Structure 1
Amino acid sequence: MSTPTDAVTRQTLAPPAHERLAVTPWLLIGAVFMVAILLRQVVPLNTDVSWLLVVGERMLDGQHLYRDIIEINPPMAAFAYLPGVALGRVLHVDPRHVVDAQLLLLAAASLFATSRIIRLSPMSAAVSWGPFAIWAAAVLTILPMHVFGQREHIATLTFLPGLAVYALRSNREPVPAWAVIMAGAGVGITLAFKPFFTFPAALCILAGAVRSRAWLPMFAPENVIAGVIVSVVSVGTYLLYPEYFTVTYPLVRDTYLSWSMSPSVIFLNAATLLLAVALASVALTRRSGRLDAPLLAMVAASVGFAISFYLQRRGWPYHSYPMVALAMLCMGYALMTAVDTDSHRRRTGAASILILAAAFALGLQWFNARIYVGPLPEAIARLKPHPRLLVLSGEAAIGHPLVRDIGGTFVSRQENLWIREFVRLTRERTSVDAPTDARLNAYLAQERNWLIEDFRKLPPDLVLIDNLRGGWGDWARADAELQQLLGPYRLAGSVEGVDILARTE
């Protein structure tokens, strides 16, 4: 028989129910991050991230960007990974692991800061944030899959605190200085990656101004901070890397930017479907048409990132990550918080879970797409440990992350021979007049000269020639000087249409 003393003891030792419930979201968020950590061990390193780690290593070795290293993107792409590469050298750790850890910490910091800012609003007290926080953690850490660490992933993480501040501005609520600084810096970093990312910021600011019926917030200090950061980065690029404007940008303008994928590739894809489902979820759960401040900001950002995705005209999954991530956040917020009564919650709960699960599964598949290059690492490992590697191909995925996986050294100053590939696409998909054709031929000659120079400067141990995509073997055999350089090499094998040539001397 229990006594009153026993009852008191049990109440003292057992935490109250509401405290146990408050701890549960934190435990589940921790579980999400654990899954994300495990995924980093099994999902291959992204091709572009692997190349930009090589770029960072070369920059630390004293090579000059856009001169000794030819990169298609502005300097922000390289500098985003430079701290991780430097820290990896200090710790004697592969920088891929350092960058992975940094991004997971950035995701945690972004979620925490965004949550702190949005909770400054008295209206947030009416929202149950636990389930949505778990969902947001999964969207930011698990959903990226193979595009984890891409610039678009980083830009999404840095943008979120600004999104929370935009929500407060639309309610005409005060924003503390620390939140202003954090939001301005985050949005500025996002915009510094790509000018296309101006659209989500502009739409968020405009939507907030319309909702608050005040135009003064358009000139809020966080917007000024973001503008200053973009200006400093632009001026710094002009002063420190003039070759980006004199060498790289003309190449990009006349080749990469001159053509477009077909409309079906750009618009009819999983990213567009997920955005449509998200907007439909918002419409169905907010039938009054009145969106609360956080949801309005997320909708504006997702539409803005969608505009940036479509304007890039490629339809590539990693370009769509910010658009899809914000759409997923919209969907989760709408379905998890759009409940007017308990009966409504019971009626829609199961359907909401199914919709979110199906959308997340589709997103995982969309972002896990990658080029299969076969068992090249195993074939190369049998030939020579830690080789110097040269790849003749327009497909970047052949060399990266292969060269990092085998502990090799990449010989070329380019991620891949992208100029020849982009010139081919330009000629196939656009009308080329005589002056443009002459410029394209000059670009091809320049890339060939870079290749020959790199070959002579650091002769590779192995050369991979891609015969499956673009006839690179025929191209190499047709070039007398390149054929002479390949003279000391023998065919050691062929994997998935890629010839492996090994040096015999």
Structure 2
Amino acid sequence: MATTSNSFPLPSGAAPSTTASRPETVRRAVLAAMCLFLLFWLGYFIDKTWHWSLVNDAPQLSYLIFLMKHGMKPYRDIIEMNMPGTYLVHFAVLGMLGWSDLAWRVFDVLLIGVIGTAMVVIAWPYSRAAGIFSAVLFALFHGRDGMGETGERDLVIAALLLVAYACLFQVLRHGRAWPMLFVGFCAGYAATIKPIPLPMALLLVAVGVLAFRREARSIWSPLLFGLAGLAIAFAIVGGFLVHEGVLGLFLREEHEMLPFYAHLGDFDPHWMLMNSSTSSFRTLAVLALVLTMAMRCWRSWEERLLLTGIAFGIFSYFYQQKGTPYHRYPMIAFTLLWCGIVFFQALRQRGWMRWVAVGAVGYGVVLAPLYARTAAKRPWSQDYEEGLTRDLNALGGAGLSGHVQCLATSAECDTVLYRMKLMQATGLAYDYFVFNRRPGPVVTESQQRFWSQLEQNPPRAIVVTVGLYPSDRFGYDKLSLWPAFADYLGAHYRLYADRQFPMFEQRAIAYRLYVRKD
């Protein structure tokens, strides 16, 4: 397959040069210095954040693995909506790297390394510097979001899809069918973490097959490789569900609980739009769009595929309706990759396009130290975890294992139990399944399952946390959304501690700790 039929255009009236003139030598030296500058700030970011603690979703999801390792079954005993691909990622990290804070930091760095490598492979025919530019900016953009976004599910999805893209581009550029195995596997596994990437997985396999058809070659080899990759990804997850004996429960619960969860958010679209990116990111995207229109490089297969990746990222962010920083990562990753390729292609153009590209690349280079320093200095309060740890230790510490219950949406309570290695009394993971202003079958069934487990094993201590959406927006009044439980709590428990903590990450957080009266 001819590379030029699939890739971005060369500069107008130009052809690749086999010898380097003096201006070209200077250009290469400048680009090399730029890459070294960017890599320095990437190293600075990693060094200054190596101590990051395990906070937010990572310990909360790892706590579910802790529950599974102590006998609880997903989709049967554990009341929550995550897909099995997420569990297997956490099983792998905990099994290979351990249960420490450092293990998850290593995993996060490995993820941005995989994303960066895929970007460099994709951008390689256009400019090696373009891949490094995009990869470093993405890593630092992720870093500026803070330690609460490390190893997130959408970051894993972004890594898997970019690897799938890198393999697909090898198919388009070199006409080899075997990389389709990895296209199917990576994109397919992304769909086992969240179902949103499933259409993308099918599309990428179809593109690889169509590329062979355009060249009048047999489509069977890329088709079979692509389908085999998909089958392997789904077989791994299916094998886990069969091994746990919960395949039927998974199919039923994901049909009901996942759609319910997907539409919990009711954020204003304008608010979500304003929080979808930063002004610096939007500036880079607008400059890339101007240059793309001027160079007319949207006609190539590869540019169209990158634009499709950006469209997927935008759809994924808005479809999830939560507005959290990590939901942006597929969109941010594909957009920055596209920006890098466009900018460095425009550097080879003449006239105003070259100067716009120089300004855009210079702007990105300036952003790198700003992002890195923001990441290094961004705090994450752990006052809640420290306070609850002291209270639980005062009530018996390890003796509470199996006799304590978190009622929270936010991760802090589960993080404390994870660090103290305390089993919960029940398998309720997120309290919006039992405290919800929009009652329905999912809420009713979740309440029944939780109540049944509660009666079988009444906890000695219950921690009610507020401070994060969606159920916690009502404060402690969320208990009134389930009057029967509120009455039970008042009849059998007394307030032991009422703690409030300063606002951080744009939210205030607090908990009330109740102990049984007997």
Aligned to 2:48: 38
User: Which residue type is aligned with residue 348 of structure 2?
Assistant: D
Shift of 1:29: 3.3
Give the secondary-structure state (helix, strand or coil) at the position aligned to 2:475. coil
User: Which residue type is aligned with residue 52 of structure 1?
Assistant: L
**Identity fraction in percent:** 14
The 1:336/1:187 distance shift into structure 2, 3 A limit, reads same
Shift of 1:498: 2.5
Instruction: Tell me the alpha carbon deviations over residues 365-408 of structure 1, each in whole angstroms, 9 at most, x when there is no partner.
Output: 99x999x8873233334434456453333x22342434445665
Q: Verify: 1:48 aligned to 2:62, yes or no.
A: no
Give the secondary-structure state (helix, strand or coil) at the position aligned to 1:390. strand
Aligned to 1:69: 78
Counterpart of 1:420 (choices 434, 455, 459) is 434
What is the correspondence of 1:2-17 to structure 2 with a 5 Å cutoff? none
Aligned to 1:320: 328
Counterpart of 1:29 (choices 10, 17, 39) is 39
Q: Verify: 1:401 aligned to 2:415, yes or no.
A: yes
Shift of 1:136: 0.6
C-alpha contact 2:297 2:303 (8 A) present in aligned 1: no
Aligned to 2:12: none
C-alpha contact 2:80 2:428 (8 A) present in aligned 1: yes
C-alpha contact 1:59 1:65 (8 A) present in aligned 2: yes
Q: Verify: 1:100 aligned to 2:115, yes or no.
A: no
Give the RMSD, CA atoms, in angstroms. 4.4
C-alpha contact 2:78 2:428 (8 A) present in aligned 1: yes
What is the correspondence of 1:473-488 to structure 2 with a 5 Å cutoff? 479-487=486-494
Aligned to 1:335: 343
Following the alignment from structure 1 to structure 2, what is the Cα–Cα distance between the partners of residues 500 and 233?
Answer: 41
The 1:208/1:75 distance shift into structure 2, 3 A limit, reads closer
Shift of 1:350: 3.1
C-alpha contact 1:74 1:193 (8 A) present in aligned 2: yes
Shift of 1:337: 3.3
Gaps of 5+ in 2: 1-24, 467-471, 502-508
Following the alignment from structure 1 to structure 2, what is the Cα–Cα distance between the partners of residues 375 and 407?
Answer: 19
What is the correspondence of 1:483-494 to structure 2 with a 5 Å cutoff? 483-487=490-494, 490-491=496-497, 493-494=499-500
Aligned to 1:349: 358
Moved more, 147-156 or 348-357: 348-357
What is the correspondence of 1:241-320 to structure 2 with a 5 Å cutoff? 241=246, 242-247=248-253, 249-254=255-260, 256-257=262-263, 260-271=266-277, 280-286=286-292, 287-291=294-298, 294-320=302-328
Following the alignment from structure 1 to structure 2, what is the Cα–Cα distance between the partners of residues 211 and 357?
Answer: 39
C-alpha contact 1:191 1:198 (8 A) present in aligned 2: yes
Instruction: Tell me the alpha carbon deviations over residues 311-345 of structure 1, each in whole angstroms, 9 at most, x when there is no partner.
Output: 33333332221112211222222223322347654
Moved more, 305-314 or 188-197: 305-314
C-alpha contact 1:392 1:417 (8 A) present in aligned 2: yes
Shift of 1:349: 1.8
Following the alignment from structure 2 to structure 1, what is the Cα–Cα distance between the partners of residues 311 and 93?
Answer: 32
Instruction: Tell me the alpha carbon deviations over residues 214-268 of structure 1, each in whole angstroms, 9 at most, x when there is no partner.
Output: 2977954553233213442564466442222234542344565477544334444
The 1:257/1:288 distance shift into structure 2, 3 A limit, reads same
User: Which residue type is aligned with residue 321 of structure 1?
Assistant: Y
Shift of 1:78: 0.8
User: Which residue type is aligned with residue 80 of structure 2?
Assistant: E
Gaps of 5+ in 1: 1-15, 428-436
User: Which residue type is aligned with residue 491 of structure 1?
Assistant: A
The 1:439/1:116 distance shift into structure 2, 3 A limit, reads closer
Give the secondary-structure state (helix, strand or coil) at the position aligned to 1:491. strand
Instruction: Tell me the alpha carbon deviations over residues 180-207 of structure 1, each in whole angstroms, 9 at most, x when there is no partner.
Output: 4443332222222222113444555677
Shift of 1:284: 1.6
Following the alignment from structure 1 to structure 2, what is the Cα–Cα distance between the partners of residues 20 and 86?
Answer: 44
Aligned to 2:190: 190
Moved more, 18-27 or 255-264: 18-27
User: Which residue type is aligned with residue 447 of structure 2?
Assistant: L
Query: May I ask how many residue pairs the two structures share in their alignment?
Result: 459
Following the alignment from structure 1 to structure 2, what is the Cα–Cα distance between the partners of residues 441 and 80?
Answer: 30
Following the alignment from structure 1 to structure 2, what is the Cα–Cα distance between the partners of residues 307 and 68?
Answer: 33
Aligned to 2:444: 441
Following the alignment from structure 1 to structure 2, what is the Cα–Cα distance between the partners of residues 147 and 217?
Answer: 41
Moved more, 192-201 or 249-258: 249-258
The 1:188/1:447 distance shift into structure 2, 3 A limit, reads same
Give the secondary-structure state (helix, strand or coil) at the position aligned to 2:463. strand
Aligned to 1:499: 512
TM-score, normalised via structure 2 length: 0.72
Give the secondary-structure state (helix, strand or coil) at the position aligned to 2:497. strand
Aligned to 2:175: 174
Counterpart of 1:469 (choices 452, 468, 475) is 475
Aligned to 2:391: 383
User: Which residue type is aligned with residue 498 of structure 1?
Assistant: Y
Aligned to 1:229: 232
Give the secondary-structure state (helix, strand or coil) at the position aligned to 1:469. helix
Aligned to 2:14: none
C-alpha contact 1:275 1:323 (8 A) present in aligned 2: no
C-alpha contact 1:84 1:99 (8 A) present in aligned 2: yes
Following the alignment from structure 1 to structure 2, what is the Cα–Cα distance between the partners of residues 63 and 442?
Answer: 18
Q: Verify: 1:147 aligned to 2:149, yes or no.
A: yes
Following the alignment from structure 1 to structure 2, what is the Cα–Cα distance between the partners of residues 338 and 273?
Answer: 22
Shift of 1:38: 3.1
Counterpart of 1:80 (choices 74, 89, 101) is 89
C-alpha contact 2:285 2:339 (8 A) present in aligned 1: yes
Aligned to 2:167: 165
Moved more, 355-364 or 222-231: 355-364
Give the secondary-structure state (helix, strand or coil) at the position aligned to 1:161. helix
Aligned to 2:506: none
TM-score, normalised via structure 1 length: 0.73
Q: Which has the higher contact order (CA 8 A, sep 6+)?
A: 2
Shift of 1:139: 0.9
C-alpha contact 1:465 1:473 (8 A) present in aligned 2: no
